[in-house]
Amino acid sequence: MGMNLGIDFSSLLQWNDFTVDLAAFAVKFAILVGGLLQLPPLLVWIERRVPALMQRRRGPNRVGIFKWRLYGLLQSLADTVKLIFKEEVVPDGAHKVFYHLAPVFCVFPAFLVACAIPYGPDLAIYGYKIPLSVVRMDVGFLFIFAISSLAVYGVALAGWASNNKYSLMGSLRASAQMISYEIPLGMSLIPIVLIYGTLDLGKIVEAQNSFFQWGVFTAPVSLLIFVICMFAETNRAPFDLAEAEGELVAGFHTEYNSAKFAAFFLGEYVSMFVLSCLASTVFFGGWQVPFVSYDALVTMLGSPNFVAPIGILMLLLKAAFFMWVYIWVRWTLPRFRYDQLMSLGWKFMLPIGLANVVVTAIVLAVLRFK
C-alpha cells in the first residue's frame, strides 16, 4: 500500500451526512453566486430597453460583435468592462477604511439572503435528501430580515465615509427610509406566518400545494403592503429619493466610481431579485406549479429529481414577473416627496399592517376554534 502519513485521509472523504451537506453546500453556493453575478448586466439591459419600448425610442442598440447586435445586449458587457477598468478616484478627506468597506457591506447581505430562498423541491441523490436552498433553516424568514437589515450599514457608511454633504444627506435619507419600511415589510409577513404556522420558507412553499392556498389568496392585503414596501426597501422608484438626481447628484454613492460603483449596482440588483423571489415564494407558491400538485408531478415524471428543474423554472418565472413590475413602476410613477414617503410608511402602511395582523389572527382563531 501507499505511504502512511499518520493522517487517515480516507476518513475525511467518507460520504456521511456531514460531508454530503458540506459538498452540497459548496456546489449550491458556487452556482448561486455565479448565477447572481450574471443578473445586473441582464437587468440593466432590460431596464434600458423596456422604457425605450414604453417611450417609443430605440434604446441602446449599437454595441455588437461585427454585424450581430443582439438588440444591444452587449452594451451591458461593454459598460461592465468600462466600470471595472476605470481609474479609481478616492476623494480627499474620505475615511479610507470605511470608504472601501461600504460596498462590501452592501453586497454581502444581499448574497447571504439569497442563500435562504428555496429555489426548488428537494433532490434525492443516492438516498441523500438535498434541499434546493443553499442553507435550509427553521427560522429562514427571520434570517432574511435579520441579514437584510444589515444592508443599512453599507448605505450609511458610504455616505459618511466619502466626506461629501450630498453623499451624507443621501445616505441619511436612504437609511432612514430602509429602516422605516422594514417594519411594515415585516408586519406584512406576520399573517403568512400565522396562516402557515412556520418560519421555514421551505415548509411555507410546501403548504401552498394547491392553487387556492397560495398566499395571494389567503393574505391579499399582505401582498399589497409587501409590494409597496419592496420598492422602498430597495430604494427604487417611486421611492428613489436617496438618489434623486435633481437634488442630491446621486445620493450616497456620489463619490464612488469604477468597480466600487459597480458593486453598489450589484447589491441593488441582487436585493431586488431576492425580494422578488421572496414575494413569489410567500405569495405565489414559490416553486409550485399552478393547478398541479407536487405529488401529482412526481408520479407523472417518475422522480423528484425531474420535478426540480420545473420548480426552479417556475420560481424564476414568478420572480421575473416581480422584476418586471419593478421596472414597469419605475417608468410609470413620478417620485414621491420625502415627507410623503415617511407619512405613507408610518401613518398608512404600519397601521394597515397592524390591522391586517389582528384581523388575520381573529379570523384564524375563529376558524380553528373547536
With 0-12 / 13-18 / 19 or more C-beta atoms within 10 angstroms meaning exposed / middle / buried, residue 322 is buried
CB of 97 to other proteins, least distance (A): 8
Could you tell me if 178 and 251 are in contact, meaning their C-beta atoms sit under 8 angstroms apart?
no
CB of 245 to other proteins, least distance (A): 23
Nearer to other proteins, 73 or 152 (CB): 152
Least distance from other proteins to the Cβ atom of residue 91, Å: 17
Q: Which is nearer to other proteins, 142 or 292 (CB)?
A: 142
Cβ distance to other proteins smaller for residue 74 or 176: 176
CB of 7 to other proteins, least distance (A): 8
Q: Are 322 and 276 in contact (CB under 8 A)?
A: yes
User: C-beta of 279: minimal distance to other proteins in Å?
Assistant: 20
Q: How far apart are CA 159 and CA 256, in angstroms?
A: 10
Nearer to other proteins, 22 or 84 (CB): 22
Cβ 15 to other proteins shortest distance, Å = 10
Half-sphere exposure of 295 (CA within 13 A, CB side): 5
Cβ 185 to other proteins, closest distance in Å? 12
Q: Count of CB atoms within 10 A of residue 191's CB? A: 24
Is the CB of 175 or the CB of 188 nearer to other proteins? 175
Smallest gap from Cβ 175 to other proteins, in A, equals 7
147 vs 307 by CB, closer to other proteins: 147
Least Cβ distance, residue 113 to other proteins (angstroms): 12
Q: Given the complex with other proteins, which of 63 and 142 has the nearer CB atom?
A: 142
Beta carbon nearer to other proteins, 141 or 264: 141
Q: Which residues bind other proteins (CB under 8 A)?
A: 8, 11-12, 14, 16, 18-19, 95, 97-98, 137-139, 142-143, 145-147, 149-150, 152-153, 156-157, 160, 168, 172, 175-176, 179, 182, 198-200
Closer of 21 and 64 to other proteins (Cβ): 21
